[in-house]
């Protein structure tokens, strides 16, 4: 293998992207593998205040096989073309090239990241897998302020979605752990990745 991947899973708003940006390692953003908003296979919410809209928190809204193929290519070749997805537009807006350079480790983060852990471990692509989590109220507030700042969806939709995700956080973390992730705070993940990379992460 040319490189191995460190997977960062966890609830939306738990701090995965912020942590990944601070590590000094190349980052594959798995949320860029969402399906386009006009894809007829997208799952929809069937009950509650948001009934009828796309369920972007369901794994069927995400292109698992494409993400896994890109992870495999990065580990074996050190370079891959990856999509650029704009959540506000519900679709891809282009492509970019992720080049690992001299790095033997890179990070893959996203809300469905736990679904690649098993296959990566079987193929010897995995260095470590973490589920980043914080107190549900902290996660709710950080997610809401981020989504409002980036105009991801109408404010009322974001508030309703945020409350539903806060209630569901314990189940999300348990699922990630069951799929092979180690539950940690952002600080614990940063320290563990620093040891893996054999340098101090600032």
Tokens 């950080």 belong to residue: 142
Long-range contacts of range 151-160, CB-CB < 8 Å, 24 or more positions apart?
Answer: 151/88, 152/87, 152/88, 153/87, 153/88, 157/50, 157/53, 160/48, 160/49, 160/50
Domain architecture of the chain: domains with CATH: 4-197 (3.40.50.300)
Q: How far is CA 63 from CA 60, 121, 142, in A?
A: 8, 19, 26
> Considering Cα of 74, then 184, then 190, then 138, what sign does the dihedral take?
positive
- Cβ atoms of 130 and 189 within 8 Å: the answer is yes
Q: State the Rg of the chain over Cα.
A: 16
Each of the 202 residues of the chain gets a pLDDT tens digit; together they read 799 999 999 988 888 988 999 999 999 999 999 999 999 999 998 887 778 888 888 999 999 999 999 999 999 999 999 999 988 788 899 999 999 999 999 999 999 999 999 999 999 999 999 999 988 777 777 878 887 887 777 888 878 877 877 787 888 899 999 999 999 999 999 999 999 987 534 3
Q: Three-state SS across 56-87?
A: CCCHHHECHHHHHHHHHHHHHHCEEEEEEEEH
CB 53 within 8 A of CB 44: yes
What is the reported pLDDT for 121?
A: 97
Helix (H) or strand (E) holding 182: strand 182-184
pLDDT for residue 200: 39
């Amino acid at each position: 293998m040319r490189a191995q991947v460190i997977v960062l899973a966890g609830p939306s708003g738990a701090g995965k992207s912020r942590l990944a940006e601070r590590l000094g390692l190349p980052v594959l953003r798995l949320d860029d593998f969402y399906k386009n908003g006009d894809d007829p296979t997208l799952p929809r919410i069937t009950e509650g205040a948001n009934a009828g809209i796309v369920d972007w928190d369901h794994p069927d809204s995400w292109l698992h096989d494409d993400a896994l193929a890109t992870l495999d290519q990065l580990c074996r070749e050190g370079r891959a073309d990856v999509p650029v997805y704009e959540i506000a537009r519900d679709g891809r807006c282009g492509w970019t090239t992720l080049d690992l350079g001299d790095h033997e480790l890179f990070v893959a983060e996203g809300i469905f990241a736990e679904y690649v852990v098993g296959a990566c471990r079987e193929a010897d692509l995995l260095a470590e897998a973490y589920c980043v989590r914080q107190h549900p109220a902290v996660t709710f507030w950080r997610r809401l302020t981020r989504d409002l700042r980036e105009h991801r969806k109408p404010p009322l939709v974001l508030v309703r979605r945020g409350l539903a995700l806060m209630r569901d956080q314990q189940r999300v973390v348990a699922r990630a752990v069951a799929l092979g992730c180690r539950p940690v705070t952002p600080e614990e993940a940063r320290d563990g990745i620093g040891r893996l990379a054999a340098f101090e992460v600032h």
